[in-house]
Amino acid sequence: MTLIKSISGIRGTIGGAPGEGLSPLDIVKFTYAYCEKMKERLPKLEGGRYKVVVGKDARLSGDMVEQLVCGTLISCGVDVVKAGFASTPTTEMAVVFEQADGGIILTASHNPKQWNALKLLNERGEFLNAEEGAAILECAEKGEFSFADVDSLGVMEEKDFTDAHLDAVLALDAVDAEAVRKAGFKVALDAVNSVGGIIMPRLLERLGVECIFVNCEPTGEFAHNPEPLPSNLTELSEAVVAGGADLGISVDPDVDRLALICEDGTPFGEEYTLVSVADYLISRVYNEALESGRSIEEIAHPYELATSSNLSSSRALRDVTEQYGGEYHAAAVGEVNVTTKMKECGALIGGEGNGGVIYPALHYGRDAMVGVALFLTNLAYKKMKVSELLATYPKYVIAKNKIELADNALIDTILDKVREVFADEDVNTLDGVKVSFESRKEWVHLRRSNTEPIVRIYAEAATKEAADALARKVIDIADSLM
């Protein structure tokens, strides 16, 4: 059994003793601590009511975890809006729709079915920052509880926010639903038998897209490893080719990550989901400025012609951004770090190379629905096959490796040594150590995992062989210290 407590929430496997797995006791403790810190963060006059939105993906433990979380919130005197089956971005937006004080998403994202988690949101529907998350962990560990009396218990109501979310996506200026309808696209959709099987078909129907359904029943019985990586999407690739689809769409269980398959069944590459959407949005602003004679600043307002992604994401985003005279900004790994950087630089678009698209014109959260709507709009305008679109972007390959360490103290030793060996190169220590070799447009990034006792090693180059060779150099350094 595994239980991982971090500043971003609590995640674990269902079952086992308290503190060893995601047990009912751990769920109650953590939810209680969230309530306490929410009330401290957002003080109200005596008698003021607090409201929290709770949404879940379709995994098997969802009902059990939902009952515990909602019951604990009510016992803390907090009103609950139960969103039921809802994607992570839907729950995030529901917090704003409801003008709630926070939200809790019950999902372990791409982890297998034995896992579940509580992801915590603030009153803006965004993930808590590191300081706020640390305060909740400290409160939960104290084990001091005081619940509301019978006259002060919270109340619960149920609402479905799916259509409100889709209405907001389709209302975006950059989404041209009519152009997508006229294009007459046919897609294959793999929703890994979770909530993507509810919301994504509704989006595609409203866009006039014909859909081949693959694993779209929200049973929680994941048909394959739920992380949307090419090795897990062979069934989708086959469905695309067999059905003559223009595109394959895959989402993870909570629908915040988006991976695409080309019309010939080959992977578009999860790193290129964000790259393609960013290219569309940046070029849209740039071309409008050229055609209208207005300034880029005026057209992009209130944003800048800027993008952001984490340090482990592909350089291709930087390349397409700078192609139009924009600025790229790197952030530490973690969605909240990316959104913080995006706000600092006024990024028009940002996200993560794992297929996470963050479009602030909608909300500051990874959202596969807006990713699909923007991608299909671009494809409708370009009038080219998906594989042809992919060929227009800078070509890079990322090698992803990890080192498991029995002694966590070795992590800092390894990071220090890598920094020393490559001192003459461009070294970034914002999150672990990233070494960039600018003349070759290559980089390697080492960082400790937020969720596992390992060091992740990502390397990117123009070819797989070059990326593997760069990663091997760093792995050899680490091996020499163990």
Q: If you ran DSSP here, which 8-state letter would residue 23 be given? A: -
* CA dihedral over 147, 59, 81, 86, signed as positive or negative: positive
Give Cβ neighbours of residue 144 (< 8 Å, ≥ 6 apart). none
pLDDT at 410: 83
Place of tokens 């740039």: 286
Beta pairing class for 397-404 and 454-461: antiparallel
Centre a 10 Å sphere on the Cβ of residue 323 and count the other Cβ atoms it contains.
13
One-character DSSP codes across 337-394: HHHHHHHHHTEEEEEETTTEEE-TTT-SSB-HHHHHHHHHHHHHHHTS-HHHHHTTSP
pLDDT at 75: 98
Of 363, 362, 371, nearest to 335 by C-alpha is 363
Q: If you ran DSSP here, which 8-state letter would residue 333 be given? A: S
Give Cβ neighbours of residue 70 (< 8 Å, ≥ 6 apart). 54, 80, 82, 156
Centre a 10 Å sphere on the Cβ of residue 151 and count the other Cβ atoms it contains.
6
pLDDT at 372: 98
Query: Rounded distance, CA 74 to CA 53, Å?
Result: 12
Query: Rounded distance, CA 76 to CA 79, Å?
Result: 9
pLDDT at 8: 74
**What is the amino acid identity at position 296?**
I
pLDDT at 452: 64
**pTM for this model (two decimals):** 0.96
According to the 3-state scheme, what is the secondary structure of 202-244? HHHHHCCCEEEEECCCCCCCCCCCCCCCHHHCHHHHHHHHHHC
> Both tokens of residue 261?
């398959």
Adjacency order of strands within the sheet including 210-214:
210-214, 186-190, 247-251, 258-261
Asked whether 460 and 314 are in contact (CB, 8 A), the reply is yes
pLDDT at 451: 58
Residue by residue, pLDDT tens for the chain (482 residues) are: 688 888 778 999 999 999 999 999 999 999 999 999 999 999 998 889 999 999 999 999 999 999 999 999 999 999 999 999 999 999 999 999 999 999 999 999 999 999 999 999 999 999 999 899 999 999 999 989 999 999 999 999 999 999 999 999 999 999 999 999 999 999 999 999 999 999 999 999 999 999 999 999 999 999 999 999 899 999 999 999 999 999 999 999 999 999 999 999 999 999 999 999 999 999 999 999 999 999 999 999 999 999 999 999 999 999 999 999 999 999 999 999 999 999 999 999 999 999 999 999 999 999 999 999 999 999 999 999 999 999 999 999 999 999 887 777 788 899 999 999 999 999 999 999 999 999 999 999 999 876 566 889 999 999 999 999 999 999 999 888 87
Query: Rounded distance, CA 414 to CA 444, Å?
Result: 14
